[in-house]
A and B are shown apart, each in its own frame.
Chain A
């Protein structure tokens, strides 16, 4: 009879063994190589990197494999690994103006210097299942497709493209962002406290759960804190990361990474003190993660209501404490799933209370 609460240790071991067995699946199928995940499930890897806050495609692929494809579990593996890494320093801010773009579009102008660059996008695909893939076939590209793709890929690495926001900013049509050299806070090293400044809000949003950011951003579009966004520019590409090495006294490029940047252009009617001007929302995420970057930009703009002197209409997306406290999926899933843990001591005390109250009510 006491067995029900004994044997935790053995149960855990058996559960882990079973999990490993299930992860492997049918041994008759080939083992999934992490290189395959990296190369063929790249967008999953990008999401894991973005929300795991660690730029490493191979580790993201490993985490996805180990987590049996559960991306939040994979993000958790990456976060738990990341937190053990020593900090050597801080990089110089990346320069996204110097990005070598794979993709660059603007929804506010028909054309911009450098042109619209669609890049590898799902945007205009027809969502029809391709049964060739089911049969593990790959339709080879036709010769002219191959040639033109090679030409396009060669041209993307040519010249940095001017930013649409700079073009608008030159006419003061777009509000300038404050500049400064002060080091931003770091929410992975300091507890997040409110009110949080914009740098901290952006940090939090950049690692926020994609689904949460998406839905909240969507809510602003449907009227809960509407801020009339246009995609001023969305760019995806490779930037250099450089770091000042104190012993050398100058900056050294330590690597490259793919990032997605979204700048929205939002209406601002102006006030008595300020003439009408466009304002911006900003999103920057690791990898090619444009849904997330756009959502981030919309949320960033919604959270700026106070500094822009807008009304708080009580929309969830305007409430920084609400958004930032619930955006992290590792915190959220932990607390949500912890109710699976035994709670019988608490439940027992509730049981006693309800029994007593019912007995009293019956008298």
Chain B
């Protein structure tokens, strides 16, 4: 792969993305437009995350890639391989060893530490998109801090269902005042964003937006005093490692309604199982 630069992107593109990242870090939660490139994987597969990772990687990095919490899902395998080939960096499945983690739809159960970077793949960076489809409008709403529409939506959920019916991509307010989309992680993971010691970067390739949370940033999930935020999870324990605190996936085991729960975070589950053995 010597035909391509380290981590695929050319240095000018990386510089453009790094400038967007610096701006994003400086204004937490603000969506910075950037000139997203076509990548060799399709839009929707994590091109934003891949571009952020490519621009952030250095040869000394140890990379972990997860999708749905797992290191061995097809897309995680594919992206990890992409960087093994184009950047030649060391890869790992273990959170404590990784210096850079790219993720789709989950935050690892193992707490992140200072010096780590986590890159989220984001499909729709705009938390207001499904309330207002126009970018010209939503940008105005952000600049005015005009989030009434969002609160009305959450209120209507409560009025209709007795609770807020958003279970993933649950909007959160950043200390800067911006409301952000935490990417489609389950709301169970939202509290992990708050005051995380790691640098959190969000890349949306197709929508050409980057945003970020510097370490130790306050990130509060939107709620009401009388309806406080509730990070729900499946009621049960992991059939493999017995964890009662991790986020669980439901696996259908037969065609007669049989099912079991297992940790969605495969690294967490495997290391717990090993530790117990």
Partner of A342, one of B44, B68, B162, B209: B68
CB of A349 within 8 A of CB of B186, answer yes
CB of A349 within 8 A of CB of B187, answer yes
* With A346-B167, A353-B167: A337-B44 Cβ-Cβ less than 8 Å: yes
User: Shortest beta-carbon distance, B246 to chain A, in Å?
Assistant: 12
Q: Digitize A342-363: 1 where CB-to-B-CB distance is under 8 Å, 0 elsewhere.
A: 1111101111110011001000
Asked whether any CB of chain A lies closer than 8 Å to the CB of B64, the reply is no
User: Shortest beta-carbon distance, A44 to chain B, in Å?
Assistant: 20
Inter-chain contacts of A342 with B (CB < 8 A): 67-68, 73-75
Asked whether any CB of chain B lies closer than 8 Å to the CB of A90, the reply is no
CB of B35 within 8 A of CB of A188, answer yes
Instruction: Please choose the segment from B93-101, B147-155, B249-257 that sits at the chain A interface, where 4 or more of its residues have CB less than 8 A away.
Output: B249-257
User: Shortest beta-carbon distance, A47 to chain B, in Å?
Assistant: 17
Q: How many residues on A have C-beta within 8 angstroms of the other chain's C-beta atoms?
A: 51
User: Shortest beta-carbon distance, A336 to chain B, in Å?
Assistant: 8
Instruction: Please choose the segment from A191-199, A233-241, A285-293 that sits at the chain B interface, where 4 or more of its residues have CB less than 8 A away.
Output: A191-199
CB of B186 within 8 A of CB of A334, answer no
Q: Digitize B244-266: 1 where CB-to-A-CB distance is under 8 Å, 0 elsewhere.
A: 00011111010000001010101
- When chains A and B are docked, how far (Å) is the Cα of A346 from the Cα of B188? 11
CB of B36 within 8 A of CB of A191, answer yes
Secondary structure call for the A interface: helix
* With A346-B168, A352-B167, A352-B232: A341-B162 Cβ-Cβ less than 8 Å: no
User: Shortest beta-carbon distance, B72 to chain A, in Å?
Assistant: 5
Asked whether any CB of chain B lies closer than 8 Å to the CB of A2, the reply is yes
User: Shortest beta-carbon distance, B135 to chain A, in Å?
Assistant: 6
User: Shortest beta-carbon distance, A62 to chain B, in Å?
Assistant: 15
- When chains A and B are docked, how far (Å) is the Cα of A339 from the Cα of B184? 13
Instruction: Please choose the segment from A78-86, A102-110, A150-158, A166-174 that sits at the chain B interface, where 4 or more of its residues have CB less than 8 A away.
Output: A78-86
Inter-chain contacts of A82 with B (CB < 8 A): 38
* With A1-B253, A345-B264: A11-B247 Cβ-Cβ less than 8 Å: no
Secondary structure call for the B interface: loop
CB of B35 within 8 A of CB of A189, answer yes
Asked whether any CB of chain B lies closer than 8 Å to the CB of A9, the reply is yes
- When chains A and B are docked, how far (Å) is the Cα of A1 from the Cα of B240? 11
Inter-chain contacts of A6 with B (CB < 8 A): 72
Q: For chain B, residues 81 to 136, give those with C-beta under 8 angstroms from any C-beta of chain A.
A: 81, 104-106, 123, 134-136
CB of A349 within 8 A of CB of B167, answer yes
CB of B206 within 8 A of CB of A335, answer yes
CB of B39 within 8 A of CB of A80, answer yes
Inter-chain contacts of A356 with B (CB < 8 A): 163, 232
Partner of A348, one of B10, B67, B248: B248
CB of B233 within 8 A of CB of A352, answer yes
Partner-B contacts on A (CB < 8 A): 1-2, 4-9, 11-12, 76, 79-80, 82-84, 86, 188-195, 321, 325, 330-331, 333-339, 341-346, 348-353, 356-357, 360
The list of the 8 closest CB pairs from A to B, nearest first, reads A338-B44, A334-B43, A349-B167, A334-B42, A191-B33, A191-B208, A8-B74, A79-B38
